[in-house]
Structure 1
Amino acid sequence: MQRDELDGWLRLALTPQLGPVAARKLLGAFGLPDAIFAQGEAALAEAVGSALAQSLRQPPDGFEAQLEATLSWLAQDPARRQVLTLADADYPAALLTTEDPPLMLYRMGRVGTTPQRALAVVGSRNATPQGLQNARRFSRTFAEAGVTVVSGLALGIDGAAHEGALDGAAPEAVATIAVVGTGLDRVYPKRHLELAHRIAERGMIVSEYPIGTPPLAANFPRRNRLIAALGQGTLVVEAALQSGSLITARLAAELGREVFAIPGSIHSPHARGCHALLRQGAKLVESAQDVLEDLRFVLPAASPAASEEEEAEGEDAPAGDPLLAAMGYDPIGLDALIERTGIPASRLSARLLELELAGEIARLPGGLYQRQASA
């Protein structure tokens, strides 16, 4: 993008109080930003009112610094950094189905490749070990089938989904797309810095926010509409009743996309959001193949089974007893618990007996254990 072109679009996007609806109205009335800024105040006022017309007559505060910062960011890696506008042929067609597609879209990574098939995978930040494992395994299978996994780079389910996609994707594929709520010169949360670098190498990071934008709380729910739009469907792995994941699912349904949900234990607060979606008409899935078949995506060839369980990061597990956190809410065997916790079998068995006698867990047929609901 040339400096003059970027100048016009960036000025339009940063004009105070000018929302996307008014900006598109101006574009429809006058054409490209250069033509908009060439209009007199009377013509602008007729289109968007006198207050906005006055704002449009002069560059926003700090505009030159923002322009230079954006040009500098692009120049650091021109082949892998990109700013798209609504006027660009490469602007993602899927985003045009939203009510307010971003005027500008910042992309970093494999920007020269447009994924043909994509699926949003979202869920709780405070995920259970089982939820993290489900997100990772499902996403790996999707990637093996050539489906790009779209998520939000948050802790918990989002991070596990990106990891699974990176594990399963072919070397030349766009493995995963992270839609973020900051400028692309920043990574949030900082614990995902290394993951973000890997996504930029083998996938794409996308934002509608200008370079330098910090992690403002209001930006994250708003970016969910882009996650929903970029996927041909949305899978919710785990979610509380009040969560951003349910917002994403609702937005996907409003766009006519399929919504899928993984059921969980009736005792788990992490399953209540998914169960609510199922009652509202989301499709219940028990395997990644269920989703692939419903969307008529080609199924992957059979691959060797992964290890029975994957170690979950303590920061993503529920608070409280570490062993109960590692169990999650689904039935689990002794071997899997040993792998998750690293506790020797003899000590683990003794601890399980203590929890059973205390009524915290129940012993099930087949040598399985399950966490009990709190009284």
Structure 2
Amino acid sequence: MSTGAERRLNDRQRRAWLRLIRTENVGPATFRDLINRFGSAEAALAALPELAHKGGAQRIRIPSEAEVDAELDLAHRMGACFVAIGEAHYPPLLARADHPPPLIAAKGRLDLLREPTIAIVGARNASLAGIKLAQRIAVELGRQGYLVASGLARGIDAAAHRGSIETGTAAAMAGGLDRPYPPENDVLFAEIAERGAVLTEMPFGWTPRARDFPRRNRIVAGMAYGLVVVEAASRSGSLISARLANEMGRLVFAVPGSPLDPRAAGTNKLLKDGAILTTGAEDVLDAIAPLVGQPPPEREMEEPSDSLAAPPPGDDERARVLEALGPTPVGIDEIIRHTGLHPAQVSLILLELDLAGRLERHSGGSVSLLMGGR
């Protein structure tokens, strides 16, 4: 199923997509594999119990039709909607990221999500100087026609949103649309939901956990041509965002700071590692302008094809793949070469293990075995 041509899901397809992505152990990569193999979410849902059983799971929890209807009803009451990859209001660069969320819940001026985007992130305990600089950069980027994206956190994120609220800002969230975080930004969230756009891949009612913030960071980085880090400690979520942006081929910008300020340790390290030195919006605009209109190569959902045709894997084939796996990530191509199995057989076995909660996926397409399961 290609994301190249704009499409629109009908109500039945959207409900099936939502039910599939809300299924236990189904993340964006697994969703993509299931659609590629079975051709539709409905067909994939029918195949899930057997696939998970073959992967070693006793059962897999699939949301009921009533649960999906309840989430759709809640979205409607909130004035939100679910946007599928390939639809008109899905952020175009995010669609071309590695394992983009197949569905996002969104609210606000969704037309803004089509605009060329630059992300600004940084420390929650930001300095006054950092907050002023982030806000000024956001104002100037907005005046030049860019949507400014960030993660709704306190500090630099909030300053970026406030600086671009007049021209267009988007907040990616780590929890459900009805669970903005942190609570101190509730007023800012409401303003962005009315004048900008808010989006998340998480279910309604979901309170964010620590491990959800890197997923949020992936969306912020994936939406943008470039990511600006204003302040960041040596261990911070902003550095995760910068790493993700770099892995996606996005530009990474960093504002230098005093070596005596721990909030500059992360940005100074980014500069040592090759980030673009940034002291104002002009540095960002000069580097981004040539890229606008030239998005990175698109990763497509494919229609099922004869290339997937192969004898179904048996217990011997599953044992060979399990023997090749361990806690250290390995590339799928390496598994195929090592086992000598048909790529479609390896793909199906990995899918079975994933649905059973026994596989972990890593950036770059590598996988590892979860020792003991999830």
Q: Out of 7, 18, 21, which is 2:29 matched to?
A: 21
Q: Residue 115 of structure 2 aligns with which residue?
A: 116
SS of the residue corresponding to residue 108 of structure 1 reads strand
Q: TM-score, normalised by structure 1?
A: 0.70
Q: Out of 205, 208, 217, which is 1:215 matched to?
A: 208
Q: Residue 145 of structure 1 aligns with which residue?
A: 144
Q: Deviations over 1:186-232 (max 9, x none)?
A: 21111111101111112110100011111212101221111111111
CA 1:257/1:165 → structure 2, altered by over 3 Å: closer, same or farther?
A: same
The structure whose RCO (Cα within 8 Å, separation 6+) is larger is 2
Q: For 2:37 and 2:69, how far apart are their aligned partners in 1?
A: 29
Q: Deviations over 1:293-330 (max 9, x none)?
A: 121279xxxxxxxxxxxxxxxxxxxxxxxxxxxxxxxx
Is residue 2:257 matched to residue 1:252? no
Deviation at 1:53, TM superposition (A): 8.5
SS of the residue corresponding to residue 148 of structure 2 reads strand
How many percent of aligned residue pairs carry the same amino acid? 40
Code of the residue aligned with 1:91 in structure 2: it is Y
Deviation at 1:55, TM superposition (A): 4.5
Q: Residue 265 of structure 1 aligns with which residue?
A: 258
Counterpart contact for 1:73–1:185, Cα < 8 Å? no
Q: For 1:226 and 1:218, how far apart are their aligned partners in 2?
A: 14
Aligned pairs for 1:249-328 within 5 A? 249-296=242-289
Q: Residue 98 of structure 1 aligns with which residue?
A: 97
SS of the residue corresponding to residue 295 of structure 1 reads helix
Code of the residue aligned with 2:119 in structure 1: it is A
Q: Out of 21, 39, 43, which is 1:31 matched to?
A: 39
Q: Residue 239 of structure 1 aligns with which residue?
A: 232
Q: Residue 195 of structure 2 aligns with which residue?
A: 202
Counterpart contact for 2:90–2:113, Cα < 8 Å? no
SS of the residue corresponding to residue 188 of structure 1 reads coil
Q: Residue 335 of structure 2 aligns with which residue?
A: none
Q: For 1:108 and 1:130, how far apart are their aligned partners in 2?
A: 32
Is residue 2:67 matched to residue 1:66? yes
Q: Deviations over 1:262-310 (max 9, x none)?
A: 1111211111111000000011111111111121279xxxxxxxxxxxx
Q: For 1:70 and 1:2, how far apart are their aligned partners in 2?
A: 17
Q: For 1:99 and 1:229, how far apart are their aligned partners in 2?
A: 8
Deviation at 1:159, TM superposition (A): 0.4
Q: Deviations over 1:49-103 (max 9, x none)?
A: 62489746x733xx4553233222232255xx22022364543331233222112
Q: Residue 50 of structure 1 aligns with which residue?
A: 54
Q: In structure 2, list runs of 5 or more residues that go unmatched.
A: 1-8, 292-374
Code of the residue aligned with 2:123 in structure 1: it is S
CA 1:272/1:295 → structure 2, altered by over 3 Å: closer, same or farther?
A: same
Code of the residue aligned with 2:54 in structure 1: it is S
Q: Deviations over 1:3-61 (max 9, x none)?
A: 533431222112222333332211001112112234596xx53xx762489746x733x
Q: Deviations over 1:211-266 (max 9, x none)?
A: 11112121012211111111110100000010010111111111111111111112
Deviation at 1:150, TM superposition (A): 0.5
Counterpart contact for 2:86–2:95, Cα < 8 Å? no
Q: Residue 318 of structure 1 aligns with which residue?
A: none
Deviation at 1:104, TM superposition (A): 1.6
Q: For 2:111 and 2:70, how far apart are their aligned partners in 1?
A: 23
Q: Residue 106 of structure 2 aligns with which residue?
A: 107
Q: For 1:294 and 1:20, how far apart are their aligned partners in 2?
A: 31
Q: For 1:281 and 1:39, how far apart are their aligned partners in 2?
A: 46
SS of the residue corresponding to residue 251 of structure 1 reads helix
CA 1:200/1:297 → structure 2, altered by over 3 Å: closer, same or farther?
A: farther
More moved, 205-214 vs 108-117: 108-117
Code of the residue aligned with 1:209 in structure 2: it is M
SS of the residue corresponding to residue 289 of structure 2 reads coil
Q: For 1:82 and 1:280, how far apart are their aligned partners in 2?
A: 40
Q: Deviations over 1:340-372 (max 9, x none)?
A: xxxxxxxxxxxxxxxxxxxxxxxxxxxxxxxxx
Root-mean-square deviation over aligned CA pairs: 2.4
Code of the residue aligned with 1:11 in structure 2: it is R
Counterpart contact for 1:15–1:55, Cα < 8 Å? no
